């Protein structure tokens, strides 16, 4: 057995803009030096699909680094610091299961299927407003879609969305470990805390709407959630509902500008959009994540000691040439059906994965019908790689198409 500190590993500059803009040359050099490990300023980086897939499943040897991130950010004693150490993603065992079970039914395949008409109506209304413009920053457009679906799931008034959307944007980048951003992260968190606190107060204990907010309030009434956990859960759900789907949709649009034939087919074939979304999840997805080892773990003859912070680059895990032929090619019809790792593995696998995929599937088809011949209006800019990655700004121009007459093509897809 070899301990990781005995290896001569390639150093990945994951904290730099150069890496965020184009990680592939760096990864190629890292894999040439070691098949599945590299180093970074954060800690060891797993660079192979198989290593990420198998090690992330070792729930008994890993935990989410809430305390560690709070210390790096200098956030002890802040509201966001409490959130980072107490939210569902950092809980374990029965405590984690208690929190996850309070919302899991709302994000299961069955309920997501029932939400598809809401997705269709939401994206159609947004397109009626935005498509005639002929050009806009696609990230701004995309920011308005998934969170509106989340508002419908929670039972919130979308008229309040503009007041919190900038705070949701900051919340989405709060785990990218940019220390100088801490004051704005805390300010954004307080805005979101007050927002969900008001939602709960206005709803009261006996509203009877039967939506997710009613379910969460009932869980608090039964003693399954504390008042603080209820509010932290809502902040988490709004942040997740806003950021991941928005970034995935923006990444997909950037890919489609380079593949106009695929985009045209998306407008004609709703089922094909599922393949396109899956291929986008393989090639580039928004989330990268961290774990801290709670014990020594050994994989492929290398021992990683307890207390090691690991970076799992889920967003580019599908570019591993050991598993995927032509890994940088966008090919929705590729024969290899290996599941993307975009939503993670293990007990912390993304709760909202079915909702995110359905959101982007429905949106892709309808956007492709209305925004034809999309092209870059200015070069895209990229977010920091660590944490929630993706495109920060995507100015596009396009040829607007009129809203199609209602027909079966606009009915929500089944599962």
DSSP 300-312: TTEEE-TT-EEEE
Q: Which residue, chain included where needed, has tokens 């932290």?
A: 232
Within a domain: 209: yes
Q: How many separate domains does the chain show? A: 1
pLDDT beyond 50 at 324:
yes
pLDDT tens, residue by residue, 167-177:
988 887 888 78
How many CB atoms neighbour CB 101 within 10 A? 11
350 within domain boundaries:
yes
Closest CA relative to residue 273, chosen from 360, 209, 157: 360
Strands 37-38 and 45-46: antiparallel
User: Which has the minimum average pLDDT: 201-210, 246-255, 305-314, 338-347?
Assistant: 201-210
pLDDT at position 405, please? 66
Number of H helices, E strands in the chain: 16, 13
Give the pLDDT confidence score for residue 410 in this predicted structure: 45
Range(s) of the domain holding residue 373 = 2-410
Minimum mean pLDDT range among 52-56, 243-247, 304-308, 330-334: 243-247
**Stronger pLDDT, 178 or 51, i.e. the higher one:** 51
Q: Is residue 37 part of a domain?
A: yes
Answer yes or no: is 46 within a domain: yes
Distances (CA, A) of 167 to 16, 144, 187, 309, 374: 24, 13, 8, 28, 29
The pLDDT confidence band at residue 232, using thresholds 50, 70 and 90, is very high
Supply the pLDDT for residue 406.
60
Does residue 57 surpass a pLDDT of 90? yes
User: What's the maximum distance between 2 C-alpha atoms anywhere in the chain?
Assistant: 65
Q: Is residue 20 part of a domain?
A: yes
- In a domain, residue 98? The reply is yes
Under a CB-based contact definition with an 8 Å cutoff, are residues 49 and 318 in contact? yes
- Give the predicted TM-score (pTM) of the model: 0.90
Assign 415 a pLDDT band (cuts: 50, 70, 90): very low
Percent of the chain with pLDDT over 90: 65
Evaluate whether residue 125 is within a structural domain.
Answer: yes
Cβ–Cβ < 8 Å for 231, 197? yes
CATH number at residue 371: 1.10.630.10
Whole-number Å distance between alpha carbons of 205 and 219:
10
Sheet of 62-63, strand order:
37-38, 45-46, 309-312, 289-293, 62-63
Helix (H, G, I), strand (E, B), or coil: what is residue 198?
helix
Tokens of 176: 């990218």
The stretches of 260-312 forming alpha helices (DSSP H) are 260-268, 270-283
pLDDT tens readout for residues 368-404: 999 999 999 999 999 999 988 999 999 999 999 988 7
CA atoms within 13 A on the CB side of 279: 24
In a domain, residue 415? The reply is: no
Q: Are 212 and 106 in contact (CB under 8 A)?
A: yes
Say if strands 302-304 and 2-3 run parallel, antiparallel, or are unpaired.
parallel
Q: What percent of the chain has pLDDT over 70?
A: 97
The Cα 314–Cα 56 span in angstroms is 11
For 147, other C-beta atoms within 10 Å of its C-beta total: 25
Q: Tell me the mean pLDDT in the region 41-65.
A: 95
d(CA 251, CA 359): 14
Which 3 state secondary structure label does DSSP give 414?
coil
Structure tokens at 92: 């374990």
**Mean pLDDT score of the chain:** 91
Does the structure show a pLDDT above 80 at 18? yes
Buried b (16+ CB within 10 A) or exposed e, 383-397: bbbbbbbbbbebbbe
pLDDT of residue 414: 45
Task: Please say if the pLDDT value at position 282 is more than 60.
Answer: yes
pLDDT in tens, 72-115: 999 999 999 999 999 988 888 888 899 888 888 878 888 888 88
Rounded to the nearest 5°, which phi and psi values hold at 107?
-110, 10
pLDDT at 409: 44
Q: Are 293 and 310 in contact (CB under 8 A)?
A: yes
**225-262 burial by CB neighbour count: b if 16+ within 10 A, else e?**
beeebbbbbbbbbbbbbbbbbbbbbbbbbbbbbebeeb
Residue 189 has pLDDT above 70, yes or no: yes
Per-range mean pLDDT, top range of 30-39, 117-126, 341-350, 406-415: 30-39
């Amino acid at each position: 057995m070899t301990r990781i500190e005995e290896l001569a590993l390639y150093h990945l500059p994951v904290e730099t803009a150069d890496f965020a803009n184009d990680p592939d040359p760096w990864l190629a050099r890292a894999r040439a030096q070691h098949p599945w490990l590299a180093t970074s300023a954060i800690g060891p980086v797993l660079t192979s699909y198989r290593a990420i897939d198998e090690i992330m499943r070792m729930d008994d040897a890993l935990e989410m680094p809430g305390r560690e991130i709070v210390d790096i950010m200098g956030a002890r004693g802040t509201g966001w610091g409490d959130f980072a150490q107490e939210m569902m993603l950092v809980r374990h065992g029965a405590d984690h299961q208690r929190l996850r079970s309070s919302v899991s039914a709302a994000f299961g395949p069955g309920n997501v299927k029932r939400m598809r008409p809401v997705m269709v109506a939401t994206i159609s209304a947004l397109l009626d407003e935005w498509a005639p413009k002929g050009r806009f920053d696609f990230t701004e457009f995309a920011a308005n879609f998934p969170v509106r679906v989340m508002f419908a799931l929670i039972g919130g008034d979308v008229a309040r969305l503009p007041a919190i959307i900038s705070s949701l944007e900051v919340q989405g980048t709060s785990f990218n470990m940019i220390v100088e951003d801490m004051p704005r992260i805390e300010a954004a968190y307080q805005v979101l805390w007050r927002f969900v606190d008001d939602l709960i107060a206005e709803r009261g204990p006996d509203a009877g709407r039967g939506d997710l907010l009613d379910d969460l309030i009932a869980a608090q009434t039964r003693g399954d959630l504390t008042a603080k956990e209820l509010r932290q859960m809502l902040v988490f759900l709004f942040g997740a509902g806003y950021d991941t789907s928005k970034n995935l949709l923006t990444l997909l649009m950037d890919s489609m500008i380079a593949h106009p034939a695929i985009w045209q087919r998306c407008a004609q074939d709703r089922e094909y959009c599922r393949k396109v979304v899956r291929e986008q999840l393989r090639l580039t997805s928004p989330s990268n994540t961290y774990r801290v080892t709670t014990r020594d773990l050994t994989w492929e003859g290398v021992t990683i000691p307890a207390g090691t912070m690991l970076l799992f680059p889920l967003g580019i895990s599908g570019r591993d040439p050991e598993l995927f032929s032509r890994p940088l090619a966008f090919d929705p019809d590729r024969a290899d059906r290996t599941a993307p790792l975009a939503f993670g593995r293990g007990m912390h696998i993304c709760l909202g994965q079915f909702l995110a995929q359905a959101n982007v599937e429905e949106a892709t088809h309808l956007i492709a019908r209305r925004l034809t011949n999309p092209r870059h209006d200015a070069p895209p800019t990229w977010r920091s790689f660590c944490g929630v990655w993706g495109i920060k700004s995507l100015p596009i121009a396009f040829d607007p198409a009129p809203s199609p007459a209602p027909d079966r093509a606009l009915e929500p897809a089944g599962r």
